[in-house]
Amino acid sequence: MSIVVTGATGHLGRHVVEQLLEKVPADQITAVVRAPEKAAAFADRGVKIAVADYNTPETFDTVFAAGDKVLLISGNEFDKGRVEQHKVVIEAAKAAGVALLAYTSAPGSLTAALADDHRGTEEALLASGLPYTLLRNGWYNENYTENLAPALEHGAVVQAAGDGRISAASRADYAAAAVTVLTGEGHENQTYELGGDTTFGFAEYAAALSEQTGKEIAYAPVSVEAYSDILSGAGLPAPFVAILAGVEVSIERGELVVSTGDLSRLAGRPTTPISESIAVALKG
């Protein structure tokens, strides 16, 4: 029996595997990757490596075994039909008879187009009859802190979310919740709405940047149209621009505020405030 993590060398997957290594023997973990060289450090520590690609169904034929617990981390190829990609994993997991398939989804409150693939995947997972856990992950602090350069350069945080607020948390927090589900009991057929313990708006985010950098940084709200033009000017493809712009609308509507407390309960600790993630990013 293994705990199998797809997308194991991605941003979230790396955190999950690292935290699993703190709780279970390495030979009980299987990291599913497309490029094995990126998983060399995990292999050196005894983690099993399986090479498979969401776009090549046959590569998943031998990845899973009966009794495995699987974390399906959603793909990031927005232009390649993510629901069909995810169905490849679901069908292979069903054929193998896995004990649990957990999926990193999006908050149930989110109406932006970003959520469409997640809802489609949820429907496919429930229809499969597999024991499941839906980890409806809210927004990540790192969505902002990993790209501080524009705000620092221009002295402005430019968003189209008005006075909307977000209950974000760090990727490590969401990974901790996933690890609890994968290593614990009683999570079958459960849905968890996951978000940070506290909320912030972009004015507060800009103020935190100002305080920690000593630079004058203000929140500069713009229209959705202007925001889309900025993203397009930065070279982002039109479908991705539309998705990001839709998220801004959802933030303004309050759809990325998740107040269940599920995340800190599963993680076993308070979630990481945005100010702490800013500090980590500035040191890095």
Residue 154: CB partners within 8 Å, gap ≥ 6?
A: none
* Regions of the chain short of the pLDDT cut 70: 78-80
DSSP helix/strand/coil, 250: helix
Question: In this predicted model, what pLDDT tens digit does every residue of 26-40 receive, in sequence order?
Answer: 999 999 999 999 999
Tokens encoding 218: 């203000």
Per the domain annotation, does 200 fall within a domain? Answer: no
Q: Would you state the pLDDT for residue 32?
A: 97
Number of structural domains, the chain?
1
Per the domain annotation, does 156 fall within a domain? Answer: no
Q: Would you state the pLDDT for residue 79?
A: 62
Per the domain annotation, does 225 fall within a domain? Answer: no
Per the domain annotation, does 65 fall within a domain? Answer: yes
Per the domain annotation, does 177 fall within a domain? Answer: yes
Residue 22: CB partners within 8 Å, gap ≥ 6?
A: none
DSSP helix/strand/coil, 270: coil
Distance, in Å, from the CA atom of 133 to the CA atom of 146, rounded to the nearest integer, reads: 29
Q: Would you state the pLDDT for residue 80?
A: 64
pTM of the predicted protein model: 0.96
What is the extent of the structural domain holding 32? 3-138+171-194+259-271
Per the domain annotation, does 220 fall within a domain? Answer: no
Q: Would you state the pLDDT for residue 75?
A: 83
Q: Would you state the pLDDT for residue 1?
A: 77
Per the domain annotation, does 232 fall within a domain? Answer: no
CATH code, 74: 3.40.50.720
